[in-house]
Amino acid sequence: MKFNHPYHLVSLSPWPLLNSFCLLIFMFSSLKFMHDFNMILLLISFILLILINFQWWRDVIREGTFQGVHTFNVMKMLRLGMIMFILSELMFFLSFFWCYFHMNLSPSVEIGSIWPPNFIMVFNPFNIPLLNTIILLSSGVSITLCHHSILNKKLFMSNLSIFITLFLGMIFTFFQYMEYKESYFSISDSVYGSIFFMATGFHGIHVIIGTLFIMVSYLRLLSSHYSMNHHLGFEASSWYWHFVDVVWLFLYIFIYWLSFYLYSMKSIFNFQLKGL
């Protein structure tokens, strides 16, 4: 007897179990790399992780695009799941901002009771950080244009705009790498260095993940997987990218600009004291 359910009864799949085991191996190999600097097991587990997820997502794409099991009710729940995932990521970054403001408003005596610490030379927010802000905001405009182009069946414009978004995401990652390379402090330099590199570093990882997400959407767009009524994969990637944009704005305002402002005020105050 056949039952027509408004939801998707997924078929049996080996990928969730294999992915869990592979994540476990990846965690242990990461710890081994941190202690012994041995990357062999880490690389093997990372490659296996990519292969397993590729097979898993291939099955999901086949179910949603070719088998038609992603009905409007199913897509509604998938959108809700993506929203909950983004909210969990928001709470993740909130912990970094919480730590930053705690140390900013009440700096401990171990760092001289001053923020930023005296031996930290912070980044100028009007150099690479401002350029990266412009790049990321521009990518948000281009991916929004791509969404509107898909809704209006403008194939060329949707392909062009998503390619621009992909290119801008890679440029952002390159400039962040250059910024890290030119840094005057490291993650070991007091709590400020830890907060800075943890917050901006995890944001950089999210940019890389979002870039890969958009790359898959770009390839699917070239393969005519999307229509004006059925483009959930692209929607999820665009939501994720907008989330990355918003987090970067807060990082730029507080981690870069506010730190530089406090650093400048501290330098002016010290200069005046020397003048006296």
Please state, for a pLDDT cut of 70, what percent of the chain lies above it: 94
Question: 66 or 169: which carries more pLDDT confidence?
Answer: 169
pLDDT digits (tens, 9 = 90+) for 206-263: 999 999 999 999 999 999 898 888 898 999 999 999 999 999 999 999 999 998 888 8
What's the mean pLDDT when you consider all of the chain?
89
Residue 1 pLDDT > 50, yes or no?
Answer: no
Q: Which CATH number fits domain 71-275: 1.10.600.10, 1.20.120.80, 3.40.50.300, 2.130.10.10?
A: 1.20.120.80
Q: For position 3, what pLDDT does the model report?
A: 47
Range 89-104 average pLDDT: 94
Residue 210 sits at the vertex; the CA angle it makes with 205 and 214, to the nearest 5 degrees, is 150
CATH topology of domain 1-69: Helix Hairpins (1.10.287)
At residue 20, does pLDDT exceed 70?
yes
Where helices occur in the chain by DSSP H, the ranges are 15-36, 40-61, 72-105, 128-151, 155-181, 190-222, 232-250, 259-275
Give the model's confidence band at 5: pLDDT under 50 very low, under 70 low, under 90 confident, else very high.
Answer: low
| Radius of gyration of the chain from its Cα atoms, rounded to whole angstroms | 23
27-41: pLDDT as tens digits: 999 888 888 888 888
pLDDT beyond 60 at 273: no
To the nearest 10°, the Cα dihedral for 68, 69, 71, 77? Answer: -140
* Rounded-to-integer distance, Cα 237 and Cα 81, Å: 13
Helix axes 128-151 and 155-181, enclosed angle (nearest 10)? 160
Model confidence at 70, pLDDT cuts 50, 70, 90, reads confident
Q: Domain boundaries in the chain?
A: 1-69, 71-275
pLDDT band at 112 (very low <50, low <70, confident <90, very high): confident
DSSP per-residue letters across 107-174: --GGGTS-SS-TT--PPPTTTHHHHHHHHHHHHHHHHHHHHHHHHTT-HHHHHHHHHHHHHHHHHHHH
Question: What is the structure's pLDDT at 120?
Answer: 86
Q: What is the mean pLDDT of residues 90-96?
A: 95
